[in-house]
Amino acid sequence: MKSIKALLIILSLSIFSISCEKEKDAHVPPNVSLKTGTGYTSADAEVAQATQVMVGFVADKTEDELKTFNVSYAFDNAATTTTDTTITLTTAEEDHYEKDYTFTTRNQAGTEKWIFTITDRDGNIAQKQVVLTVK
């Protein structure tokens, strides 16, 4: 009789622990967009050499606080990117972040891929990119 009680207790605890499993985090990345309008580049484009370009980046928290903003680039279809800028966000920027990022294209023909990345507290990443064909 004691062994049946013990078995029932173990069985009950097993069922209870299975039913109380924590829900898995969906890992939703931040929402990101590029500003459009006069003065902004928000899509792939052809530009002249040594052209000043402005990209307006906007990020909003989905489930976790925003932590870092990074700008990287790759020239002429290079397989790896080079980091241009990394910014650790302040507490005031954890829910919403905007950055107007200005750079000048190279003084030579080719392609330039500029990648804008935001990372949240859980390491979720969201990106936007602009590919410029420099003539």
Mean pLDDT by 10 residues, the chain (135 residues): 58 55 72 96 96 97 95 95 95 96 97 97 96 97
10 φψ region: left (φ > 0), alpha (ψ -120 to 50), beta (else) = alpha
* Structure token digits, residue 38: 């006069």
Residue 116 CA neighbour count, 13 Å, CB half: 26
Domain boundaries, the chain: 26-134
Q: Which of 69, 64, 68, 70 is nearest to 121 (CA)?
A: 64
For residue 97, the SS3 value is strand
Structure pTM?
Answer: 0.79
State in words which class domain 26-134 has.
Answer: mainly beta
Longest dimension (CA), the chain: 88
